[in-house]
Amino acid sequence: KQEVTQIPAALSVPEGENLVLNCSFTDSAIYNLQWFRQDPGKGLTSLLLIQSSQREQTSGRLNASLDKSSGRSTLYIAASQPGDSATYLCAAVGGSQGNLIFGKGTKLSVKP
């Protein structure tokens, strides 16, 4: 059974710092991996999707990498801003139907 883990559960950094959020998964036979952002009391906003055949995806200040052999994905945030404060969730898709297995998230706080 696929399990997804995100460490640390919470992270606090000063504004301007570059940071990396980690996601690990137990079954390397994933179809794709998706990163989301969730603001308090809100829904999930998709940030990046990495297909199993890809190594990384970029969107603005965000870069996500995928290493299936080691069961790891990272989300790199460059030049962090207070507006980046949110909970970041990663989710692995095990098959083509699309069912997501979520980690429990990393709560990021960027201090001005």
Partner 1 sequence: NAGVTQTPKFQVLKTGQSMTLQCAQDMNHEYMSWYRQDPGMGLRLIHYSVGAGITDQGEVPNGYNVSRSTTEDFPLRLLSAAPSQTSVYFCASSYRGAEQYFGPGTRLTVT
Chain contacts with partner 1 (rule: CB under 8 A): 31-32, 34, 36, 42-46, 49, 89, 91, 93, 96-100, 102-105
86: Cβ contacts below 8 Å, ≥ 6 apart: 37, 38, 39, 40, 107, 108
- Residue 110's nearest CA partner among 34, 22, 10, 8 is 10
Smaller CB distance to partner 1: residue 16 or 95?
A: 95
The minimum distance between CB 18 and partner 1, in angstroms, equals: 25
Spatial contact of 53 and 8, defined as CB atoms under 8 Å apart: no
Smaller CB distance to partner 1: residue 96 or 112?
A: 96
Residues β-bridged to residue 72: 24, 67
106's enclosing H/E stretch is strand 106-111
Smaller CB distance to partner 1: residue 80 or 91?
A: 91
The minimum distance between CB 2 and partner 1, in angstroms, equals: 11
The minimum distance between CB 16 and partner 1, in angstroms, equals: 30
The minimum distance between CB 111 and partner 1, in angstroms, equals: 24
